[in-house]
Amino acid sequence: MPVPVHVHVLVLGGTTEARRLAESLAGDRRVRVTTSLAGRVAAPRLPPGDVRVGGFGGVDGLAAWVREHRVGLLIDATHPFAATMSRNAAEAAAQAHVPLLALRRPGWVAQDGDRWHSVASLAEAAELLPALGERVFLTTGRMGLAAFAGAGLDALWFLVRSVDAPEPPCPARMDVLLDRGPFELEGEREILRHRRIDVLVTKDSGGAATAPKLTAAREAGIPVVVVRRPPVPEGVPVAATPDEAVEWVVRKLSAEGSGGADGSGSADGPGASG
């Protein structure tokens, strides 16, 4: 009979998927779940289990926290565009010899009728805008607005949607819409009509919560500038859903319970494909 194990799972969160993962693991007595939030949202929706808020102080700080709190499994369930945190997680997991999984919702896929323009960065998106429209629906969040604050874009008007109020530098001509998804299709249609939007800018965040804006833009024939997501660090296994992440955790627990652990809380090395 496998020996019961108690493993500390650290979830780097801030996404719907991270919260659902914590909810799914909360009933498993073999694990203790801690969700770490960056603290960039004033009133985040808290998941079950332990919650910590704030940064770790880079790679070394995260690795030290993992060791100090005897973390056995690390799951990077941050936003698909949190590239720095994902790189830090990969390096910290390697330092601490802890298995790492990336939980990433699939990206969006263009459909017939979409007028998408794929770009690599917010700066590239800003360069493209003057050729596409004059009234911009900017749905990339409050971080990175400086890319749209250049004098070359002063003739454009921006509707910026974010959870919390943005801080300067911001576009010269701008209205702010404070709102949090999920968003409904009819509401997105109304924004495009009422605000006379003629170009949409978004990051390829994926998921259903904010996808209705893409449908509304397709229906209206509006061009969409889509910022491509950064890749997951090389060698890190990826789960597309919280259920897949739970299965990964269960496999690791089974390996430890059957004697697969090496005494460090790790069933196998970071970057394992299991």
The backbone torsions φ and ψ at residue 31, rounded to the nearest 5 degrees and listed phi first, read: -125, 155
Same-domain check for residues 97 and 17: yes
**What's the rounded mean pLDDT across residues 240-263?**
80
When pLDDT is cut at 50, 70 and 90, the band that residue 79 belongs to is: very high
Same-domain check for residues 11 and 91: yes
Higher pLDDT among residues 86 and 263, named by residue? 86
pLDDT tens per residue across span 138-190:
999 888 999 999 879 999 999 999 988 999 999 999 999 999 889 999 999 99
Instruction: Read off the CATH number of the domain in which 34 is found.
Output: 3.40.50.720
Same-domain check for residues 190 and 239: no
Same-domain check for residues 132 and 222: yes
Weakest mean pLDDT among 6-10, 26-30, 99-103, 191-195: 26-30
Same-domain check for residues 78 and 15: yes
The type of residue at 235 is G
The answer as to whether 24 is a domain residue is yes
The type of residue at 159 is L
The type of residue at 25 is L
Residue 123 and residue 144: Cα distance in Å, rounded?
A: 9
Instruction: Note the pLDDT of residue 250.
Output: 95
Residue 264 and residue 245: Cα distance in Å, rounded?
A: 21
Instruction: Note the pLDDT of residue 42.
Output: 63
The answer as to whether 145 is a domain residue is yes
**What's the rounded mean pLDDT across residues 119-140?**
97
Question: Is a pLDDT exceeding 60 seen at residue 2?
Answer: no
The DSSP code sequence of 62-84 is HHHHHHHTTEEEEEE-S-TT-HH
Same-domain check for residues 146 and 200: yes
The answer as to whether 25 is a domain residue is yes
pTM, 2 dp: 0.84
The answer as to whether 265 is a domain residue is no
Instruction: Note the pLDDT of residue 258.
Output: 54
Both tokens of residue 104? 């990433």
Q: What angle do CA 166, 215, 179 make, to 5 degrees?
A: 25
Q: Are 245 and 21 in contact (CB under 8 A)?
A: yes
The answer as to whether 46 is a domain residue is yes
The answer as to whether 253 is a domain residue is yes
Same-domain check for residues 94 and 144: no
Virtual torsion, Cα 195, 198, 203, 207, nearest 10 deg:
70
Same-domain check for residues 73 and 129: no
Same-domain check for residues 130 and 194: yes
As a whole-number percent, the residues of the chain with pLDDT over 90 amount to 79
Same-domain check for residues 128 and 192: yes
**Within 10 A of 34 (CB to CB), how many other CB atoms are there?**
19
When pLDDT is cut at 50, 70 and 90, the band that residue 260 belongs to is: very low
Weakest mean pLDDT among 36-40, 108-112, 241-245: 36-40
Instruction: Read off the CATH number of the domain in which 136 is found.
Output: 3.40.50
Instruction: Note the pLDDT of residue 262.
Output: 37
Residue 237 and residue 245: Cα distance in Å, rounded?
A: 10
Same-domain check for residues 84 and 19: yes
Domains: count for the chain: 2
The answer as to whether 31 is a domain residue is yes
The answer as to whether 251 is a domain residue is yes
Range of the domain at 156: 116-227
Same-domain check for residues 39 and 125: no
